[in-house]
Amino acid sequence: MKNVSFLFLFLVFLASCTKPISTFNEQEVSTVLDKWHNAAATANFDEYFGLMTDNSIFMGTDATEYWTKKQFMNFSKPYFDRGKAWSFKATVRHIYSSPENPNIAWFDEELDTPNLGLSRGTGVLQKIAGEWKIEQYNLTVPIPNDLVNGVVKKIEEYSNKKEN
């Protein structure tokens, strides 16, 4: 009985000294995002869309740009076919994951883009069969607070013109 008690206490002690094994690696997620942006800049259609889940969503800067992967592929194909889709370079990136589910990561990144200037991307990745895939991406153009009222007014004017 003494041996059983000692073994039990030893196992409890051992369990309290070990750390849970986490599969989250921030650099892996960052590498996938860099590959994704590079695939667009080099017009590698298959690699770009291969880094997205089958049910991924892409939201662009225009309110009408809410696409499933298939819709986004159809929209994007002509850009990739011409040899260069778009060029986004992350200048700042923050990546997060929950200890409870290290197979889900979310991020935000500041982007340097030739056509949009300073932009922001946010999104979610999921690790599937050992590979990180983009589940959702949202591209925005941050508007300085001092300019918001003017931008809102222009959007209203634009919407009114389209309705008439």
Is residue 8 one of the residues assigned to a domain? no
Is residue 118 one of the residues assigned to a domain? yes
Is residue 112 one of the residues assigned to a domain? yes
Is residue 97 one of the residues assigned to a domain? yes
What mean pLDDT value characterizes the chain? 88
Cβ-contact 101, 20 below 8 angstroms: no
Is residue 4 one of the residues assigned to a domain? no
Is residue 78 one of the residues assigned to a domain? yes
- Residue 85 sits in a domain whose CATH number is 3.10.450.50
State residue 54's pLDDT score: 97
State residue 82's pLDDT score: 95
Which distant-in-sequence residues (6+ apart) come within 8 Å of 91 by Cβ? 109, 110, 111, 112
pLDDT band at 2 (very low <50, low <70, confident <90, very high): low
Is residue 14 one of the residues assigned to a domain? no
Cβ-contact 88, 78 below 8 angstroms: no
Number of domains in the chain: 1
Cα 9 to chain centroid distance, Å, stands at 45
pLDDT above 60 for 12: no
Boundaries of domain holding 40? 22-163
pLDDT digits (tens, 9 = 90+) for 24-34: 799 999 999 99
**Coil, strand or helix at 54:** strand
Is residue 15 one of the residues assigned to a domain? no
Percent over 90 (pLDDT), the chain: 75
State residue 18's pLDDT score: 42
